[in-house]
Structure 1
Amino acid sequence: MSNLIIEPEELAAQLGREALLVVDLSTPQNYRGGHIPGAIHLPFQALLAGTPPAPGKLPSAERLTQVFRAIGLKPGHHVIACDDEGGGWAGRFLWTLEVIGHKNYSYLNGGMHAWRSAGLPLSTEDVAPTPSEIDISIDPAPSMDAEEIQRHLHDDNFLVWDARSPREYSGEQVAAMKAGHIPGAINCEWTQLMDPQRDLRIRTDAREFLAKLGIDDQHRIVTHCQSHHRSGFTWLVGKSLGFDIRAYPGSWSEWGNLPDTPVER
Protein backbone atom coordinates (compact mmCIF):
# COMPACT_ATOMS: atom_id res chain seq x y z
CA MET A 1 0.00 0.00 0.00
CA SER A 2 1.06 3.58 -0.52
CA ASN A 3 2.29 5.98 2.18
CA LEU A 4 -1.31 7.11 2.29
CA ILE A 5 -1.72 4.30 4.83
CA ILE A 6 0.17 4.50 8.13
CA GLU A 7 0.32 1.79 10.81
CA PRO A 8 -0.17 2.57 14.54
CA GLU A 9 3.46 1.86 15.46
CA GLU A 10 4.68 4.18 12.67
CA LEU A 11 2.46 6.98 13.94
CA ALA A 12 3.47 6.39 17.58
CA ALA A 13 7.12 6.95 16.60
CA GLN A 14 6.23 10.33 15.07
CA LEU A 15 4.09 11.79 17.87
CA GLY A 16 5.28 15.18 19.06
CA ARG A 17 6.61 16.30 15.68
CA GLU A 18 5.65 19.91 15.03
CA ALA A 19 4.60 19.21 11.44
CA LEU A 20 2.17 16.45 12.49
CA LEU A 21 -1.56 17.08 12.86
CA VAL A 22 -3.61 14.12 14.10
CA VAL A 23 -7.37 14.51 13.60
CA ASP A 24 -9.77 12.10 15.32
CA LEU A 25 -13.29 11.79 13.90
CA SER A 26 -14.51 9.32 16.54
CA THR A 27 -17.69 9.90 18.50
CA PRO A 28 -17.28 12.48 21.31
CA GLN A 29 -17.71 9.70 23.91
CA ASN A 30 -14.96 7.57 22.39
CA TYR A 31 -12.65 10.55 22.03
CA ARG A 32 -13.15 11.52 25.68
CA GLY A 33 -12.64 7.90 26.71
CA GLY A 34 -9.13 7.88 25.27
CA HIS A 35 -7.48 9.28 22.17
CA ILE A 36 -4.03 9.47 20.61
CA PRO A 37 -1.99 12.00 22.62
CA GLY A 38 -2.25 15.41 20.93
CA ALA A 39 -5.06 14.35 18.56
CA ILE A 40 -7.67 17.01 17.81
CA HIS A 41 -11.31 15.98 17.84
CA LEU A 42 -13.39 16.99 14.81
CA PRO A 43 -17.12 16.19 14.75
CA PHE A 44 -18.01 14.66 11.37
CA GLN A 45 -20.89 17.14 10.97
CA ALA A 46 -18.28 19.82 10.18
CA LEU A 47 -17.61 18.06 6.86
CA LEU A 48 -21.22 18.13 5.60
CA ALA A 49 -23.45 20.83 4.18
CA GLY A 50 -26.33 19.20 6.06
CA THR A 51 -29.04 20.57 3.77
CA PRO A 52 -31.75 18.22 2.44
CA PRO A 53 -32.24 16.38 0.21
CA ALA A 54 -28.47 15.83 -0.13
CA PRO A 55 -26.93 16.53 3.30
CA GLY A 56 -23.61 14.93 2.31
CA LYS A 57 -22.63 17.66 -0.12
CA LEU A 58 -19.65 19.88 0.66
CA PRO A 59 -20.12 22.91 2.88
CA SER A 60 -19.23 26.28 1.36
CA ALA A 61 -15.59 27.33 1.01
CA GLU A 62 -16.24 29.91 3.73
CA ARG A 63 -17.47 27.28 6.17
CA LEU A 64 -14.64 24.89 5.34
CA THR A 65 -12.17 27.73 5.88
CA GLN A 66 -13.60 28.21 9.38
CA VAL A 67 -13.32 24.46 10.08
CA PHE A 68 -9.71 24.14 8.94
CA ARG A 69 -8.64 27.33 10.69
CA ALA A 70 -10.27 26.10 13.90
CA ILE A 71 -8.30 22.85 13.89
CA GLY A 72 -5.09 24.77 13.19
CA LEU A 73 -4.33 23.37 9.74
CA LYS A 74 -1.22 24.85 8.13
CA PRO A 75 0.12 24.20 4.61
CA GLY A 76 3.16 22.35 6.01
CA HIS A 77 1.19 19.87 8.12
CA HIS A 78 1.27 16.12 7.56
CA VAL A 79 -2.30 15.26 8.55
CA ILE A 80 -3.19 11.84 10.00
CA ALA A 81 -6.88 10.96 10.19
CA CYS A 82 -8.50 8.26 12.31
CA ASP A 83 -11.95 7.30 13.56
CA ASP A 84 -13.60 4.55 15.59
CA GLU A 85 -15.64 2.89 12.81
CA GLY A 86 -13.19 1.52 10.29
CA GLY A 87 -12.49 4.53 8.12
CA GLY A 88 -15.69 6.16 6.84
CA TRP A 89 -15.40 9.56 8.47
CA ALA A 90 -11.60 9.52 8.32
CA GLY A 91 -11.84 8.85 4.58
CA ARG A 92 -14.40 11.60 4.14
CA PHE A 93 -12.06 14.00 5.96
CA LEU A 94 -9.07 13.05 3.81
CA TRP A 95 -11.18 13.43 0.66
CA THR A 96 -12.07 16.93 1.91
CA LEU A 97 -8.35 17.68 2.31
CA GLU A 98 -7.90 16.56 -1.31
CA VAL A 99 -10.72 18.93 -2.33
CA ILE A 100 -8.98 21.90 -0.66
CA GLY A 101 -5.64 20.95 -2.23
CA HIS A 102 -3.88 19.74 0.95
CA LYS A 103 -2.18 16.60 -0.38
CA ASN A 104 0.05 15.65 2.56
CA TYR A 105 -2.12 13.22 4.51
CA SER A 106 -2.37 9.64 5.74
CA TYR A 107 -4.98 7.29 7.18
CA LEU A 108 -4.28 5.44 10.43
CA ASN A 109 -4.95 1.87 9.27
CA GLY A 110 -7.69 0.40 11.46
CA GLY A 111 -8.11 3.69 13.28
CA MET A 112 -8.64 3.66 17.03
CA HIS A 113 -9.45 -0.08 17.01
CA ALA A 114 -5.93 -0.82 15.80
CA TRP A 115 -4.31 1.81 18.05
CA ARG A 116 -5.96 0.42 21.19
CA SER A 117 -5.28 -3.17 20.19
CA ALA A 118 -1.58 -2.35 19.82
CA GLY A 119 -1.56 -1.11 23.44
CA LEU A 120 -0.28 2.32 22.43
CA PRO A 121 -0.62 5.41 24.68
CA LEU A 122 -4.01 7.03 25.20
CA SER A 123 -4.85 10.45 26.59
CA THR A 124 -8.09 11.75 28.07
CA GLU A 125 -6.99 15.39 27.99
CA ASP A 126 -8.90 17.79 25.76
CA VAL A 127 -6.65 19.24 23.07
CA ALA A 128 -7.18 22.92 22.25
CA PRO A 129 -5.69 23.63 18.82
CA THR A 130 -4.07 26.95 18.03
CA PRO A 131 -6.19 28.42 15.21
CA SER A 132 -4.45 29.06 11.88
CA GLU A 133 -4.93 31.66 9.18
CA ILE A 134 -5.09 29.19 6.29
CA ASP A 135 -6.87 30.22 3.12
CA ILE A 136 -8.50 27.50 1.06
CA SER A 137 -10.23 27.13 -2.27
CA ILE A 138 -12.32 24.27 -3.64
CA ASP A 139 -10.85 22.04 -6.34
CA PRO A 140 -13.72 20.26 -8.15
CA ALA A 141 -11.44 17.52 -9.56
CA PRO A 142 -11.88 14.95 -6.71
CA SER A 143 -15.69 15.13 -7.12
CA MET A 144 -18.32 14.33 -9.70
CA ASP A 145 -21.86 15.64 -9.78
CA ALA A 146 -25.02 13.94 -11.05
CA GLU A 147 -24.87 15.65 -14.43
CA GLU A 148 -21.29 14.56 -15.09
CA ILE A 149 -22.03 10.97 -14.03
CA GLN A 150 -24.99 10.83 -16.45
CA ARG A 151 -22.75 12.06 -19.27
CA HIS A 152 -20.27 9.22 -18.69
CA LEU A 153 -22.63 6.31 -17.91
CA HIS A 154 -22.13 4.70 -21.31
CA ASP A 155 -18.34 5.13 -21.45
CA ASP A 156 -16.61 1.74 -21.53
CA ASN A 157 -13.88 2.78 -19.10
CA PHE A 158 -16.21 4.50 -16.60
CA LEU A 159 -17.42 2.75 -13.47
CA VAL A 160 -19.73 3.60 -10.57
CA TRP A 161 -18.82 1.94 -7.26
CA ASP A 162 -21.86 1.80 -4.98
CA ALA A 163 -20.70 1.42 -1.36
CA ARG A 164 -24.20 0.92 0.10
CA SER A 165 -25.69 -2.32 1.39
CA PRO A 166 -27.00 -4.94 -1.07
CA ARG A 167 -30.59 -4.18 0.05
CA GLU A 168 -30.19 -0.47 -0.73
CA TYR A 169 -28.55 -1.32 -4.05
CA SER A 170 -31.33 -3.72 -5.08
CA GLY A 171 -34.05 -1.25 -4.10
CA GLU A 172 -35.50 -3.41 -1.31
CA GLN A 173 -34.49 -0.76 1.20
CA VAL A 174 -35.87 2.63 0.19
CA ALA A 175 -34.07 5.78 1.36
CA ALA A 176 -35.15 8.32 -1.28
CA MET A 177 -38.08 8.94 -3.65
CA LYS A 178 -36.56 6.39 -6.04
CA ALA A 179 -35.02 3.09 -4.96
CA GLY A 180 -32.36 1.02 -6.70
CA HIS A 181 -28.98 2.01 -8.12
CA ILE A 182 -27.26 4.03 -10.82
CA PRO A 183 -27.40 1.99 -14.07
CA GLY A 184 -24.40 -0.31 -14.39
CA ALA A 185 -23.08 0.46 -10.89
CA ILE A 186 -21.11 -2.28 -9.13
CA ASN A 187 -22.08 -2.91 -5.52
CA CYS A 188 -19.32 -3.49 -2.98
CA GLU A 189 -20.44 -2.55 0.52
CA TRP A 190 -17.80 -0.51 2.33
CA THR A 191 -17.38 -2.94 5.25
CA GLN A 192 -16.27 -5.68 2.85
CA LEU A 193 -12.93 -3.87 2.53
CA MET A 194 -12.29 -4.00 6.31
CA ASP A 195 -10.58 -6.99 7.95
CA PRO A 196 -12.33 -7.78 11.27
CA GLN A 197 -9.48 -10.16 12.16
CA ARG A 198 -6.99 -7.27 11.94
CA ASP A 199 -8.78 -4.54 13.92
CA LEU A 200 -10.69 -3.25 10.86
CA ARG A 201 -7.55 -2.52 8.84
CA ILE A 202 -7.95 -2.42 5.06
CA ARG A 203 -7.91 -6.02 3.90
CA THR A 204 -4.54 -7.02 2.44
CA ASP A 205 -6.15 -8.58 -0.64
CA ALA A 206 -8.27 -5.51 -1.42
CA ARG A 207 -6.95 -5.22 -4.97
CA GLU A 208 -7.71 -8.86 -5.86
CA PHE A 209 -11.08 -8.78 -4.06
CA LEU A 210 -12.20 -5.70 -6.01
CA ALA A 211 -10.83 -7.01 -9.32
CA LYS A 212 -13.10 -10.06 -9.05
CA LEU A 213 -16.06 -7.67 -8.87
CA GLY A 214 -14.80 -5.69 -11.87
CA ILE A 215 -13.47 -2.70 -9.91
CA ASP A 216 -9.87 -2.09 -11.02
CA ASP A 217 -7.29 0.40 -12.22
CA GLN A 218 -8.44 0.01 -15.83
CA HIS A 219 -11.48 2.19 -15.09
CA ARG A 220 -12.23 5.77 -14.16
CA ILE A 221 -14.22 5.28 -10.98
CA VAL A 222 -16.69 7.35 -9.04
CA THR A 223 -17.90 6.08 -5.67
CA HIS A 224 -20.97 6.99 -3.61
CA CYS A 225 -23.27 5.77 -0.85
CA GLN A 226 -26.26 7.61 0.66
CA SER A 227 -24.43 10.74 1.84
CA HIS A 228 -20.71 10.21 0.99
CA HIS A 229 -19.84 8.84 4.42
CA ARG A 230 -19.40 5.13 3.67
CA SER A 231 -17.94 6.08 0.30
CA GLY A 232 -15.37 8.18 2.14
CA PHE A 233 -13.79 4.82 2.96
CA THR A 234 -14.20 3.28 -0.48
CA TRP A 235 -12.66 6.43 -2.00
CA LEU A 236 -9.76 6.04 0.44
CA VAL A 237 -9.25 2.36 -0.44
CA GLY A 238 -9.33 3.13 -4.16
CA LYS A 239 -6.88 5.99 -3.67
CA SER A 240 -4.51 3.74 -1.68
CA LEU A 241 -4.54 1.23 -4.56
CA GLY A 242 -3.65 3.92 -7.09
CA PHE A 243 -7.07 3.91 -8.78
CA ASP A 244 -8.35 6.90 -10.76
CA ILE A 245 -11.19 7.46 -8.29
CA ARG A 246 -13.48 10.36 -7.49
CA ALA A 247 -16.48 10.71 -5.20
CA TYR A 248 -20.07 11.76 -5.71
CA PRO A 249 -20.92 13.74 -2.55
CA GLY A 250 -24.57 14.17 -3.55
CA SER A 251 -24.77 10.35 -3.44
CA TRP A 252 -28.07 8.45 -3.44
CA SER A 253 -29.83 11.07 -1.30
CA GLU A 254 -29.51 13.38 -4.31
CA TRP A 255 -29.65 10.87 -7.22
CA GLY A 256 -32.71 9.10 -5.82
CA ASN A 257 -34.56 12.40 -5.37
CA LEU A 258 -33.81 14.03 -8.73
CA PRO A 259 -36.65 13.79 -11.27
CA ASP A 260 -34.55 12.94 -14.34
CA THR A 261 -31.88 10.53 -13.06
CA PRO A 262 -32.01 6.96 -14.44
CA VAL A 263 -32.37 4.11 -11.93
CA GLU A 264 -31.94 0.33 -12.19
CA ARG A 265 -33.47 -2.23 -9.84
Structure 2
Amino acid sequence: MTQAHPFKTLISAANLLPNAHNPNWVIVDCRHDLMDPGAGRAAYAAGHIAGARFANLDRDLSGAKQAADGSFKGRHPLPEKDALVATLRSWGISDDTQVVAYDAHGGMYAARLWWLLRWIGHDSVAVLDGGLAAWQAEGQTLTTAEPTPTPGNISAKAPLTSSVDAHDVLINLTSPRRTVIDARAPDRFRGENETIDPVGGHIPGAKNRFFKDNLQADGRFKSGHQLHEEFGALISEPQAAVMQCGSGVTACHNLLALEIAGLHGAALYPGSWSEWCSDPTRPMAKGA
Protein backbone atom coordinates (compact mmCIF):
# COMPACT_ATOMS: atom_id res chain seq x y z
CA MET A 1 0.00 0.00 0.00
CA THR A 2 1.41 3.38 -0.99
CA GLN A 3 1.91 5.88 1.80
CA ALA A 4 -0.59 8.71 1.22
CA HIS A 5 1.52 11.29 3.02
CA PRO A 6 5.12 10.09 3.09
CA PHE A 7 7.60 11.24 5.69
CA LYS A 8 10.20 13.30 3.81
CA THR A 9 12.48 14.81 6.47
CA LEU A 10 11.99 13.51 10.02
CA ILE A 11 9.85 10.89 11.69
CA SER A 12 9.30 10.55 15.42
CA ALA A 13 9.66 7.25 17.23
CA ALA A 14 5.95 7.47 18.07
CA ASN A 15 5.06 7.70 14.37
CA LEU A 16 7.44 4.92 13.43
CA LEU A 17 6.11 2.55 16.05
CA PRO A 18 2.76 1.64 14.39
CA ASN A 19 4.52 1.21 11.04
CA ALA A 20 7.63 -0.66 12.15
CA HIS A 21 6.31 -3.94 10.73
CA ASN A 22 4.59 -2.44 7.67
CA PRO A 23 5.84 -4.45 4.67
CA ASN A 24 5.99 -1.26 2.65
CA TRP A 25 8.40 0.37 5.10
CA VAL A 26 12.14 -0.32 5.29
CA ILE A 27 14.23 0.72 8.30
CA VAL A 28 17.98 1.16 7.83
CA ASP A 29 20.58 1.26 10.61
CA CYS A 30 23.34 3.71 9.64
CA ARG A 31 25.52 3.65 12.75
CA HIS A 32 29.21 4.26 12.15
CA ASP A 33 32.39 5.58 13.72
CA LEU A 34 34.86 7.50 11.55
CA MET A 35 37.76 6.41 13.75
CA ASP A 36 36.62 2.77 13.98
CA PRO A 37 34.93 1.70 10.72
CA GLY A 38 33.84 -1.66 12.16
CA ALA A 39 32.01 -0.17 15.14
CA GLY A 40 28.71 0.37 13.33
CA ARG A 41 28.39 -3.24 12.21
CA ALA A 42 29.34 -4.44 15.68
CA ALA A 43 26.69 -2.21 17.27
CA TYR A 44 24.10 -3.49 14.78
CA ALA A 45 25.00 -7.10 15.61
CA ALA A 46 24.67 -6.37 19.33
CA GLY A 47 21.14 -4.99 18.90
CA HIS A 48 19.04 -3.05 16.39
CA ILE A 49 15.43 -2.15 15.62
CA ALA A 50 13.58 -5.26 14.49
CA GLY A 51 13.70 -5.66 10.72
CA ALA A 52 16.34 -3.00 10.21
CA ARG A 53 18.94 -3.49 7.49
CA PHE A 54 22.51 -2.34 8.08
CA ALA A 55 24.13 0.32 5.89
CA ASN A 56 27.91 0.49 5.89
CA LEU A 57 29.03 4.08 5.25
CA ASP A 58 32.25 3.09 3.50
CA ARG A 59 30.87 0.23 1.41
CA ASP A 60 27.19 1.03 0.79
CA LEU A 61 26.91 4.82 1.02
CA SER A 62 30.22 5.79 -0.62
CA GLY A 63 32.09 5.08 -3.84
CA ALA A 64 35.67 4.70 -5.03
CA LYS A 65 38.07 7.22 -3.50
CA GLN A 66 40.20 7.52 -6.61
CA ALA A 67 39.04 9.12 -9.86
CA ALA A 68 39.89 7.74 -13.30
CA ASP A 69 42.74 10.27 -13.58
CA GLY A 70 44.21 9.06 -10.29
CA SER A 71 43.15 12.09 -8.26
CA PHE A 72 41.72 11.70 -4.76
CA LYS A 73 37.94 12.22 -4.59
CA GLY A 74 37.71 12.43 -0.81
CA ARG A 75 37.16 9.99 2.02
CA HIS A 76 33.49 9.32 1.21
CA PRO A 77 32.77 10.09 -2.48
CA LEU A 78 29.29 9.47 -3.81
CA PRO A 79 28.65 5.89 -4.94
CA GLU A 80 27.85 5.15 -8.56
CA LYS A 81 24.09 5.44 -8.96
CA ASP A 82 23.74 1.94 -10.42
CA ALA A 83 25.62 0.48 -7.45
CA LEU A 84 23.49 2.46 -5.00
CA VAL A 85 20.27 1.30 -6.66
CA ALA A 86 21.45 -2.32 -6.50
CA THR A 87 22.18 -1.95 -2.78
CA LEU A 88 18.81 -0.35 -2.09
CA ARG A 89 17.04 -3.13 -3.98
CA SER A 90 18.91 -5.75 -1.94
CA TRP A 91 17.45 -4.12 1.19
CA GLY A 92 13.95 -4.55 -0.22
CA ILE A 93 13.38 -0.92 -1.21
CA SER A 94 10.96 -0.24 -4.06
CA ASP A 95 9.69 2.93 -5.70
CA ASP A 96 6.77 3.14 -3.25
CA THR A 97 8.71 2.22 -0.09
CA GLN A 98 8.82 4.52 2.91
CA VAL A 99 12.43 4.43 4.13
CA VAL A 100 13.43 5.35 7.67
CA ALA A 101 17.14 5.86 8.43
CA TYR A 102 18.51 5.99 11.95
CA ASP A 103 21.77 6.05 13.87
CA ALA A 104 22.89 6.80 17.42
CA HIS A 105 24.75 10.00 16.55
CA GLY A 106 22.11 12.70 16.16
CA GLY A 107 21.45 11.74 12.55
CA MET A 108 24.95 12.50 11.28
CA TYR A 109 25.13 9.24 9.29
CA ALA A 110 21.42 8.64 8.71
CA ALA A 111 21.24 12.00 6.92
CA ARG A 112 23.71 10.69 4.35
CA LEU A 113 21.30 7.90 3.33
CA TRP A 114 18.46 10.44 3.35
CA TRP A 115 20.37 12.64 0.90
CA LEU A 116 21.42 9.72 -1.33
CA LEU A 117 17.84 8.53 -1.73
CA ARG A 118 16.79 12.03 -2.72
CA TRP A 119 19.75 12.08 -5.10
CA ILE A 120 18.17 9.22 -7.04
CA GLY A 121 14.74 10.83 -6.90
CA HIS A 122 13.15 8.99 -3.95
CA ASP A 123 11.46 11.41 -1.55
CA SER A 124 9.75 8.97 0.82
CA VAL A 125 12.68 8.88 3.20
CA ALA A 126 13.00 10.28 6.70
CA VAL A 127 15.50 10.28 9.54
CA LEU A 128 14.36 8.95 12.91
CA ASP A 129 14.39 12.07 15.07
CA GLY A 130 16.46 11.38 18.17
CA GLY A 131 17.76 8.13 16.70
CA LEU A 132 18.03 4.86 18.55
CA ALA A 133 17.77 6.58 21.94
CA ALA A 134 14.34 7.98 21.02
CA TRP A 135 13.20 4.52 19.96
CA GLN A 136 14.31 2.97 23.23
CA ALA A 137 12.72 5.84 25.15
CA GLU A 138 9.40 4.57 23.76
CA GLY A 139 10.05 1.35 25.66
CA GLN A 140 11.06 -0.60 22.57
CA THR A 141 13.58 -3.41 22.80
CA LEU A 142 16.24 -4.28 20.25
CA THR A 143 16.92 -7.54 18.45
CA THR A 144 19.98 -9.36 17.15
CA ALA A 145 17.98 -11.18 14.45
CA GLU A 146 18.93 -10.08 10.94
CA PRO A 147 16.20 -9.87 8.28
CA THR A 148 16.21 -11.60 4.91
CA PRO A 149 14.59 -9.00 2.66
CA THR A 150 12.68 -9.71 -0.51
CA PRO A 151 14.47 -7.68 -3.22
CA GLY A 152 12.84 -4.40 -4.15
CA ASN A 153 12.53 -2.66 -7.51
CA ILE A 154 13.54 0.94 -6.81
CA SER A 155 14.84 2.80 -9.87
CA ALA A 156 16.74 6.04 -10.29
CA LYS A 157 14.66 9.04 -11.31
CA ALA A 158 15.27 12.76 -11.69
CA PRO A 159 17.31 13.90 -8.66
CA LEU A 160 15.71 15.96 -5.92
CA THR A 161 19.14 17.25 -4.89
CA SER A 162 22.16 18.80 -6.55
CA SER A 163 25.91 18.64 -6.09
CA VAL A 164 29.00 20.57 -7.10
CA ASP A 165 32.61 19.48 -7.59
CA ALA A 166 35.97 20.94 -6.60
CA HIS A 167 36.22 22.86 -9.88
CA ASP A 168 32.87 24.58 -9.20
CA VAL A 169 34.05 25.56 -5.73
CA LEU A 170 37.38 26.81 -7.08
CA ILE A 171 35.64 28.98 -9.70
CA ASN A 172 33.39 30.34 -6.97
CA LEU A 173 36.45 31.77 -5.18
CA THR A 174 37.14 34.16 -8.04
CA SER A 175 33.52 34.74 -9.09
CA PRO A 176 31.52 34.34 -5.88
CA ARG A 177 27.92 33.35 -6.51
CA ARG A 178 27.51 30.69 -3.83
CA THR A 179 27.82 30.70 -0.06
CA VAL A 180 29.85 27.73 1.17
CA ILE A 181 28.91 26.34 4.59
CA ASP A 182 31.25 23.97 6.44
CA ALA A 183 29.57 21.53 8.86
CA ARG A 184 32.67 20.54 10.82
CA ALA A 185 33.36 21.41 14.44
CA PRO A 186 34.66 24.97 14.91
CA ASP A 187 38.17 23.88 15.94
CA ARG A 188 38.63 21.76 12.80
CA PHE A 189 37.22 24.61 10.71
CA ARG A 190 39.88 26.89 12.18
CA GLY A 191 42.56 24.32 11.35
CA GLU A 192 43.07 23.17 14.94
CA ASN A 193 43.02 19.61 16.34
CA GLU A 194 42.80 18.01 12.91
CA THR A 195 43.00 14.24 13.42
CA ILE A 196 41.26 12.88 10.31
CA ASP A 197 42.59 14.75 7.28
CA PRO A 198 46.30 15.40 6.56
CA VAL A 199 45.88 19.19 6.41
CA GLY A 200 43.93 21.46 8.73
CA GLY A 201 41.93 24.50 7.69
CA HIS A 202 38.97 25.37 5.50
CA ILE A 203 37.99 26.54 2.05
CA PRO A 204 38.60 30.33 1.85
CA GLY A 205 35.41 32.31 2.33
CA ALA A 206 33.47 29.39 3.82
CA LYS A 207 31.22 29.96 6.83
CA ASN A 208 31.03 27.52 9.72
CA ARG A 209 27.78 25.87 10.82
CA PHE A 210 28.59 22.90 13.06
CA PHE A 211 26.04 20.22 12.27
CA LYS A 212 25.42 19.54 15.98
CA ASP A 213 24.02 23.07 16.23
CA ASN A 214 20.97 21.70 14.38
CA LEU A 215 20.04 19.66 17.45
CA GLN A 216 18.41 20.30 20.77
CA ALA A 217 19.94 19.06 24.01
CA ASP A 218 17.94 15.82 23.78
CA GLY A 219 19.41 14.96 20.37
CA ARG A 220 16.29 15.81 18.39
CA PHE A 221 16.29 18.45 15.69
CA LYS A 222 15.38 22.02 16.50
CA SER A 223 12.09 23.32 15.14
CA GLY A 224 11.82 24.38 11.51
CA HIS A 225 11.23 27.95 12.65
CA GLN A 226 14.41 28.05 14.73
CA LEU A 227 16.47 26.42 11.99
CA HIS A 228 15.08 28.90 9.46
CA GLU A 229 16.18 31.81 11.65
CA GLU A 230 19.66 30.39 12.28
CA PHE A 231 20.42 29.44 8.68
CA GLY A 232 18.82 32.64 7.44
CA ALA A 233 21.59 34.52 9.24
CA LEU A 234 24.15 32.64 7.12
CA ILE A 235 22.56 32.42 3.68
CA SER A 236 20.23 34.73 1.80
CA GLU A 237 19.48 32.37 -1.09
CA PRO A 238 19.39 28.62 -0.35
CA GLN A 239 19.70 27.83 -4.07
CA ALA A 240 23.06 29.59 -4.05
CA ALA A 241 24.41 27.70 -1.03
CA VAL A 242 26.85 24.79 -0.93
CA MET A 243 27.10 22.46 2.06
CA GLN A 244 30.41 20.72 2.78
CA CYS A 245 32.23 19.16 5.72
CA GLY A 246 35.17 16.78 6.03
CA SER A 247 34.03 14.16 3.55
CA GLY A 248 30.47 14.95 2.46
CA VAL A 249 28.69 13.15 5.30
CA THR A 250 27.76 15.66 8.01
CA ALA A 251 27.12 18.24 5.29
CA CYS A 252 24.00 16.16 4.59
CA HIS A 253 22.89 16.90 8.17
CA ASN A 254 22.90 20.61 7.33
CA LEU A 255 21.02 19.87 4.11
CA LEU A 256 18.39 17.98 6.09
CA ALA A 257 18.13 20.88 8.53
CA LEU A 258 17.62 23.25 5.62
CA GLU A 259 14.76 21.09 4.32
CA ILE A 260 13.17 21.05 7.77
CA ALA A 261 13.50 24.85 7.77
CA GLY A 262 11.80 25.12 4.38
CA LEU A 263 14.98 26.44 2.78
CA HIS A 264 15.25 24.34 -0.36
CA GLY A 265 17.79 24.01 -3.13
CA ALA A 266 21.24 24.00 -1.50
CA ALA A 267 23.88 21.78 -3.10
CA LEU A 268 26.31 19.26 -1.62
CA TYR A 269 30.06 19.31 -2.28
CA PRO A 270 30.66 15.57 -1.82
CA GLY A 271 34.47 15.65 -1.82
CA SER A 272 34.49 18.39 0.82
CA TRP A 273 37.64 19.25 2.77
CA SER A 274 39.20 15.79 2.40
CA GLU A 275 39.27 16.18 -1.37
CA TRP A 276 40.00 19.91 -1.36
CA CYS A 277 43.08 19.70 0.85
CA SER A 278 44.55 16.77 -1.13
CA ASP A 279 45.66 19.20 -3.85
CA PRO A 280 48.23 21.70 -2.48
CA THR A 281 47.55 24.08 -5.38
CA ARG A 282 44.05 24.80 -4.03
CA PRO A 283 43.89 27.80 -1.68
CA MET A 284 43.31 27.07 2.00
CA ALA A 285 42.56 29.21 5.02
CA LYS A 286 42.90 28.91 8.78
CA GLY A 287 41.37 30.72 11.70
CA ALA A 288 37.81 31.87 12.26
Common topology (TM > 0.5):
yes
Alpha-carbon deviations, 1:132-182, whole Å to 9, x = none?
Answer: 344436849521111122333466662111011222211234455653211
Structure 2: 5+ residue stretches without partners? 1-6, 32-39, 67-71
Which position in structure 1 is the counterpart of 2:21? 16
Q: 1:190 aligns with which of 211, 228, 232?
A: 211
User: Which stretch shifts more, 135-144 or 119-128?
Assistant: 135-144
1:122 maps to 142
Opposite residue 222 of structure 2, the aligned amino acid is: R
Residues of 2 paired with 1:71 and 1:264: CA distance?
Answer: 42
Which position in structure 1 is the counterpart of 2:30? 25
2:62 to 48, 54, 60: 48
Gaps of 5+ in 1: none
> What is the distance in 1 between the residues matched to 2:215 and 2:251?
13
Q: Report the Cα offset of residue 118 of structure 1.
A: 2.4
User: Alpha-carbon deviations, 1:81-118, whole Å to 9, x = none?
Assistant: 11111111110001110111112111111111211122
- Give the corresponding residue for 1:163: 183
Q: From 71, 76, 80, give the equivalent of 2:96.
A: 76
The one-letter code of the counterpart of 2:221 is I
Q: 8 Å contact 2:204–2:283 — kept in the other structure? A: yes
**Structure 2 residue identity aligned to 1:257:** S
Q: Identity percentage over the alignment?
A: 29
Q: State the secondary structure of the residue aligned to 1:21.
A: strand
Corresponding residue for 2:69? none
Does structure 2 conserve the Cα–Cα contact (< 8 Å) formed by 1:157 and 1:219?
no
Offset of residue 18 of structure 1: 2.5
TM-score, normalisation: structure 1 = 0.87
Q: Which moved more, 1:218-227 or 1:19-28?
A: 218-227
- Provide the C-alpha distance between the structure 2 equivalents of 1:154 and 1:103, rounded to a whole number of angstroms: 35
Is this contact kept in 2: 1:87–1:110, CA < 8 A? Answer: yes
Partners of 1:141 and 1:121 in 2: how far apart?
35
| CA RMSD after TM alignment | 2.5
Give a deviation string over 1:170-222, Cα, whole Å, max 9, x none: 123445565321122111111222223x2x1112333333344x245556221
CA drift of 1:241 comes to: 1.4
1:3–1:51: structure 2 CA closer, same or farther, 3 Å change rule? closer
Contact 1:178 1:263 in 2 (8 A): no
